[in-house]
Structure 1
């Protein structure tokens, strides 16, 4: 049976999975969601004997129903190969009473690789299926990790161009260098004088600009997205939560049908939404623990039912979570509004006009599976320090936010359920913040001296992703103001 997708803001339009992947964002500005969340049709016991690639097929075939078995398996085979530096793709590490799901062993050492390694293959397959002759322009905003992972995935992929906007002072030095040294004839990286939310809003405005779409069509182009607003990004993320659960079962860390908690550090809400989908597919997850940094808009939402982006934007040591507009939350809002597109659209219009919306009590009651909390900068640093000193295991700043919230949750609730923490980036990506948390004296070293010191201290080899940028040439130096984003795209595409 074909699973169709619909917009969170319209009752009228339904599209196939390949069409949703191609479009990225619905024409009405909504996000594509499956008409229903499918249940796993293979037993958890059977899944526990499968490789990552095999689990990926069993999960993704249920969402991408217009892909043939051959097409989907080829996409998976091309994505999850030797570009990952561990055979297991997403290994589990047990430390200090939790299981850390290491999602950072891909080519850009961040969890975004888990989805962005496969998205180019899903997209180009979708284009062929739908007889698209236009060149596909991937237009995306990044708070640090999506940009490099998307650039690496789409570099020199025939029939595509990729344009990435990032906040000039809102990413780590390593994140920035990874992006601005990116090779590929079809890649274009632009820093904006603004924050991530402004970059994301600018990108969304271009997607919904019909006049721009018409001009691009004449020039032989069409937009698509690599952000987590694209369902082709979200579906591959569901896989690693299913895989983590069945590995825990295979490793005899949990019993058959035993429930686990999942902690996810998140700003845009896509990663934890994938865990929510996994739960709804039948994975025994108890609590979905949403961990925020000092930009705690999600914590406030789960506490009050009130979403309010009208607050100071804080630059933190976990920049990929420095977000005040959590785009993927819209998919959850739509779901708890009983898939009422008109109701959801009114919330999103309110957010756009006043920066605020408040869900109903009935909707808030449907958030019982979620728990939200946040970590201050001090708590994040002390979590890195404490875990290193007690176990020798080194966390990046984002995972440390999650580990801190995990501890807070345990103290508040006395819940002893076994817990999976999504470890979303390598500590080598945020070396200065990580090393300063361990010892302030490290602050005197430059970025690459710190990297070598972290390698010695953690007994982990410097990842290839870091070595390749050590002496790489800067290939992208374009900077623009927020209100110049569209013209910058026009100039690059010569339209």
Structure 2
């Protein structure tokens, strides 16, 4: 399968590229992204075939349906990393929380967040391609809190790759920050910036498109790629768990095969939701995809009004910081799928030049056929955390809590909903401790102990150990100095 470009093709790039080319150089013509030329049509036959399959068998077959140019032994090695999750037989448990609401837990990997689902195998694949080609790559990662730890974990000490990870200083939880700044592998560089996630992501996109930066790297015999969800190598692994979660409901006899469900996705950069959209387009029986946001609710406004309006907007710091994002990169891939490359380029240029675009009424109607949305404030989220724990015995993090409101406002209660839990409670313990016990401004280490005592839950060893590790990565800079700092690292 080949990959094409969301904003059309300029004269400097080929009309289509292979999967390996798309993940090695993820930014396409005119600043666009790569998408599959065609999506595989899975149909009922594929679902029936895998109703009793392991997660790895499902994943291997799905990747084969994309006909990606990666050797089978490399794919198997990449998927074997799921064996290191909490339960090697089922790395993504799906848990019933209340009548017709099920939570797909995506956080049972090494960094306790959903980014492990895609980044663990992605690291093996990209490093393998680089070694096979005899090339060396700089992998850029911009993080609002979860991509960074997962990218660093998967790439540490891998051959032919170095990683520069950008995060907003003060814009992540303590645990997320510690997961990054205690990494000591020599091929990793963690850079805090005085700014917000959008600043980090804008810097990443600028560097990926900068011929001058690429020339400076070339002088060091280094090529450039990215670990963010602008890279389709991330997205392809995110499609899998939506299909798995549906099959889990079939296995649990919660639904019959072919019965439609809602997929309720907490969304920041929209990669998780895009995976759901592609799974639906490939044949998964879905009623609608529900987008759950926090106070940075640009996606809610887009889906409700057709307007993507960033004029006079600034990122608001919330209790769900991984979603503190205004420019959701992967919405572009949905625009392309629905409206084609010419309209996508026009809309994205308007956003870049004017901080605004607006869909026509027909385009909005088409978007709303697939998506609905609502947003949840931090205070509302804490109420949902406490209420769900007390009434249903289920403890969730503040990102997952945003799904609870949209479950109430956007779903038909007669239809089953799969909501996605993107992080373990350990990643955002001060917010959860405040929700459960009322304690205020507790540091993570104290809040973890409080929740552990209240909920009778063990703190995982990989989280406990963070607080005694040496802080190795101490760089915090102005956003204007990012390029200079990266070149100094190299």
Equivalent residue number for residue 155 of structure 1: 156
Q: Secondary structure at the match of 2:180?
A: helix
Which string of whole-angstrom CA distances, capped at 9 and with x for unpartnered residues, describes residues 242-275 of structure 1? 1111111112110121011010001111101100
Equivalent residue number for residue 124 of structure 2: 121
Q: Secondary structure at the match of 2:467?
A: coil
Equivalent residue number for residue 9 of structure 1: 7
Equivalent residue number for residue 431 of structure 2: 433
Tell me, yes or no, if the aligned pair for 1:85 and 1:106 is still in contact at 8 Å: no
Matches within 5 A, 1:137-156: 137-156=138-157
Q: Secondary structure at the match of 1:256?
A: coil
Matches within 5 A, 1:277-316: 277-310=278-311, 311-316=313-318
Measured in 1, the distance between the counterparts of 2:139 and 2:483 equals: 14
How far the C-alpha of 1:461 sits from its partner, in A, is: 1.7
Q: Secondary structure at the match of 1:162?
A: strand
Measured in 1, the distance between the counterparts of 2:423 and 2:359 equals: 32
Measured in 2, the distance between the counterparts of 1:490 and 1:418 equals: 50
Measured in 2, the distance between the counterparts of 1:247 and 1:150 equals: 28
Q: Secondary structure at the match of 2:440?
A: helix
The alignment's TM-score, normalised by the length of structure 1, stands at 0.94
Equivalent residue number for residue 349 of structure 1: 349
Measured in 2, the distance between the counterparts of 1:291 and 1:438 equals: 22
Q: Secondary structure at the match of 2:30?
A: coil
Tell me, yes or no, if the aligned pair for 1:290 and 1:373 is still in contact at 8 Å: yes
User: Is 2:93 the partner of 1:91?
Assistant: yes
Q: Secondary structure at the match of 1:126?
A: helix
Which string of whole-angstrom CA distances, capped at 9 and with x for unpartnered residues, describes residues 395-421 of structure 1? 1000001122212224xxx44210000
User: Is 2:57 the partner of 1:54?
Assistant: yes
Matches within 5 A, 1:65-464: 65-77=68-80, 79-84=81-86, 87-97=89-99, 98-128=101-131, 131=133, 133-310=134-311, 311-337=313-339, 339=340, 341-367=341-367, 368-410=369-411, 414-440=412-438, 442-443=439-440, 445-464=442-461
Q: Secondary structure at the match of 1:118?
A: helix
The alignment's TM-score, normalised by the length of structure 2, stands at 0.95
**Which 5+ residue runs of structure 2 have no aligned equivalent?**
none
Q: Secondary structure at the match of 1:219?
A: coil
Which string of whole-angstrom CA distances, capped at 9 and with x for unpartnered residues, describes residues 4-28 of structure 1? 1011112452100111111122253
Q: How many aligned positions are there?
A: 482
Measured in 1, the distance between the counterparts of 2:383 and 2:345 equals: 41
Measured in 2, the distance between the counterparts of 1:244 and 1:302 equals: 25
Tell me, yes or no, if the aligned pair for 2:144 and 2:171 is still in contact at 8 Å: yes
Measured in 2, the distance between the counterparts of 1:115 and 1:409 equals: 28
Tell me, yes or no, if the aligned pair for 1:17 and 1:63 is still in contact at 8 Å: no
**Which 5+ residue runs of structure 1 have no aligned equivalent?**
none
More deviation, 115-124/457-466: 457-466
